[in-house]
Amino acid sequence: MQPYSEQLGRTLVVLGVVIAAVGLILTFARGLRFGTMPGDLTWSGKGWQVWLPLGSSLVLSAVLTLVLNLLLKRR
């Protein structure tokens, strides 16, 4: 078993990498058309708008499932 401080250090490094990756994805998301994919629903009226990202949610779920399965199978 690893010492607590070493385990905490690795956890913080992984968390930092995940936060940086999410930041990069959000920075370049406009170019990927994320949020305006087919299947995303938008309703609007005078002074209001409702956005339901169904297509984007499905793509994000599939990508995260693949990535997490690849990462967790290595252990």
Statement to judge: residues 44 and 66 lie in one domain: yes
Supply the pLDDT for residue 34.
67
pLDDT of 6-45, one tens digit each? 888 888 998 998 889 888 877 877 676 766 778 888 899 9
Find the domain containing 21 and state its range: 1-32
Statement to judge: residues 52 and 20 lie in one domain: no
What does the block give as tokens for 63?
């990508």
Statement to judge: residues 43 and 27 lie in one domain: no
Query: Helix (H, G, I), strand (E, B), or coil: what is residue 54?
Result: helix
Supply the pLDDT for residue 47.
93
Burial class (CB in 10 A: 0-12, 13-18, 19+), 7: exposed
State pTM to two decimals. Answer: 0.54
Statement to judge: residues 74 and 51 lie in one domain: yes
Statement to judge: residues 46 and 75 lie in one domain: yes
Statement to judge: residues 26 and 53 lie in one domain: no
Supply the pLDDT for residue 48.
94
The domain tally of the chain equals 2
Mean pLDDT of 58-72: 86
Query: Helix (H, G, I), strand (E, B), or coil: what is residue 71?
Result: helix
Query: In angstroms, rounded to a whole number, what is the distance separating the alpha carbons of residues 70 and 13?
Result: 19
